[in-house]
Each structure stands twice: as structure tokens, then as C-alpha cells.
Amino acid sequence: MRSIALLILPLMLCAQHDQAPAPGQNPAIKNPAAIAAGAQLYITSCGGCHGPDGIGGRGPNLVRQLQSHQLKDDELFGAIRNGVAGTDMPPTRLSDDDTWKLTAYLRAVTGPAADSKVYGDPGAGEKLYWSPKAGCSECHAILGKGSRMGPDLSNIGGSRPLANIRAAITPPKNDPSRNAALAGKEGVTVTMKNGTVLKGIARNRGNYSLQLVDEKGALHLISMAGVKSLAVLDHSLMPEDYDTRFTPDELTNLLAYLARQTVRQTPAGGK
């Protein structure tokens, strides 16, 4: 599954942004052919350290870093060309043209999924999302439908890069940061002194009180004085077998559906 995924992401991204570049913008930026070429350059030049889809390996997670540090195109080009002082990031030996293609790919991979023309069948992905096989709606809601126990996905495509969405569904097994976002949102089982057992996601867990969103999306305000025992999971409630539960086509279709989930207005004639 992992080797197939290496092929899926560049194919998805090479179809991104076919509009003309903005004035003063390098022609490679948003150019599908340049992005496709940059994807291949990334695999051979960068993937060994930063992971095949930019979400980390020996080197840092580029998708997360470039989201939190909004570099301009020329600044990103400069970081690739000159390396980053004080880190293991070396200067590149690529030509200017190839460096811009790599810049275009990294700009594409860190942009919102809703801005991409993602391969796959969104209709088939929608059916899979709401099916018992995936079980996504048991934790997540889209536009008010589904459970509110997990994060709302109504704007997942408008706020998250495609690589991040895929990594959330099929995270690398050796990723030390896979549960880093759990802080204060752990899966818990609470046994009350009166015998009531509650399961769900913790919110604002402290020494004296706990807010818990259960499997039906109901919010429980709990005083720790009434708690007999509290079991806290050290991992996400997200299923860890999606890489084998889904076929490659099913995963691609699910990503296509999630990429369309945005609360932004889309232009007439858009997706």
C-alpha cells in the first residue's frame, strides 16, 4: 500500500492549478507539467529525508512546516537552492529551472486540498465515507450530519493539504508525531462512582473536572469528585488499519471526496 501511495500523491498534484501564474510569479508555480516534474525531482532529491509525501522522515515534516511558516515563492526557492544554515538541509545542485519545478511541487503539496483537481471518484468516496466499512461518520460530522465526537470535517478540504488528510487516514507507523495533536483530546473511558460508564473524547481535562464528548456527540460535564476510575488511551481513536481495510482505489476516492469538503464559495463552473 505504501509504495502505491508514493505514486498516487504526485498524480493528484500534477493536475493542480491550471490557471495562468500571477504577475511576477515564476511560470512553474501552478503549472501542472512543472508540478508533475517537481514531484519526480522531490522523490529522487528530497524524499529520502522528508518522506515520500513530505510528512517527515529523517528530516522534518515539510507540509506542517510550510503551513506554519508562510514563505514566499522566492524564499522557498532560496531555501531549496542554498540549504538552511544550522540544519542538515544542504544546498541543491539542481538547475534554476528544476529548482523552480521543485518549488512549484512543494507549493502545491502544502496548499489546501480544495484548490486541487484531485484524481478519484468523489461520489464513490462519499459512499465509502458514510458506509460501515469506513465508519468515518461514527466520529466525524460533515455539514451537521454524523457524530460530533471527533473533529468536524466540513472544511477539511478548504483548510488542510491533501498530504495531511491522507496522513491522518493512513499515518506512517513510525511517525513519532502521529499522536502529538492529542493533547487534551484523548480517548477516555470514565467509570463513575454510581456505576455509569462513559466513553468518548476528553475536552479540557483537569484535576477537578472533565468535559467528555461521547460516541453520540453528547457533551458531559463531569466533576472528578464523582469519578471512580479514568482510563486514558495513549493513542488516537482513529482506526489504524485503513491502509489494509481500503483498496488503493478506495483510498483515492475517499481523498477525492474529502478534498471537496470546503465551506468556501467555489467559482461558477468550478468543482
* Domains identified in the chain and CATH numbers: 2-110 (1.10.760.10), 122-178+239-259 (1.10.760.10), 183-232 (2.30.30.100)
* Greater model confidence, 63 or 176: 63
pTM: 0.65
* pLDDT computed for residue 52 by the predictor: 74
CA 87/CA 234 separation, integer angstroms: 31
Of residues 195 and 73, the one with the higher pLDDT is 195
Reported as a single tens digit per residue, the pLDDT across 50-72 is 877 677 777 777 776 676 567 78
Q: Which residues of 226-257 are buried (b: 16+ CB within 10 A; e: fewer)?
A: eeeeeeeeeebbbeeebbeebeeebbbbbbbb
Q: What is the pLDDT of residue 204?
A: 79
The per-residue pLDDT for 246 is 95
pLDDT computed for residue 260 by the predictor: 93
Q: What is the pLDDT of residue 185?
A: 62
pLDDT at 178 over 60: no
* Per-residue model confidence (pLDDT) at position 8: 43
Give Cβ neighbours of residue 20 (< 8 Å, ≥ 6 apart). Answer: none
Reported as a single tens digit per residue, the pLDDT across 227-250 is: 999 998 876 778 888 989 999 999
The mean per-residue pLDDT over the stretch 194-220 comes to 87
The DSSP letter of residue 205 is -
* pLDDT for res 2: 41
Q: What grid cell was written down for 19?
A: 490557471
**Which of 120, 241, 106 has its CA nearest to residue 163?**
106
Confidence of residue 177 (pLDDT cuts 50, 70, 90): very low
Task: Report the pLDDT value the prediction gives residue 175, as an integer from 0 to 100.
Answer: 54
pLDDT in tens, 130-171: 999 999 998 899 999 998 888 899 999 998 888 778 878 887
Percent of the chain with pLDDT over 90: 30
Angle made by CA atoms 82, 86, 89, in degrees to the nearest 5: 45
